[in-house]
Structures are given as C-alpha cells and as structure tokens.
Amino acid sequence: MEAKAYVLIEAESGRVAEVLTALRAIEGVSAADAVTGPYDIIATVQTPDPRNIGRLVMNQIQGVEGIKRTVTCIVIG
C-alpha cells in the first residue's frame, strides 16, 4: 500500500524559489507548492512503503539548503 504525507516547510527568507526547485527534483516528492500562512511550502511525498517517508524527509528533504524547519503529516485512511 502506498503511503502519503504532507511536509510543511519553513524556508529561509528569500529562498523559497530555490527550495521549490530542489524539492521537485527529489524522487518521492510528487508536488511542492509555495503557500501563505505560517509555512512557506507544502510538499506532498509518496512512497511504496510507509517506513520510507521518515527516511525521505530526514535524509533528503531536510538536507535541502534553505530549509529551516519541517513538520511531517502522514495521511491516514
């Protein structure tokens, strides 16, 4: 069963465009959009195995230059 999560991202000031470009190049990120509100970007992540969501976020997404903080919301149901 494929797993899906939304990753709420705070980016450094002035770096949203470059963070979006980097996120969209990561395998497993099916969408990345700039948004208004307390977060700058919401990325949608999909993996074949739910255990891979945490690995993808920690090993790849959090390593993108310009990202300050992430919150991962796993879709249930």
The reported pLDDT for the residue numbered 77 is 77
| 24 φ, ψ (degrees, to nearest 5) | -65, -15
At 70, which CATH number?
A: 3.30.70.920
Nearest CA-CA partner of 5 in 50, 40, 39, 36: 50
Using CA of residue 76, residue 12, residue 24, residue 65, what is the dihedral sign? negative
This model's pTM is above 0.85: yes
Q: What is the mean pLDDT of the chain?
A: 96
Summarised one tens digit per residue, pLDDT across range 2-12 is 899 999 999 99
Q: How many domains does the chain have?
A: 1
The range of the structural domain enclosing residue 8 comes to: 3-74
- Strand-pairing partners, residue 67, are 11
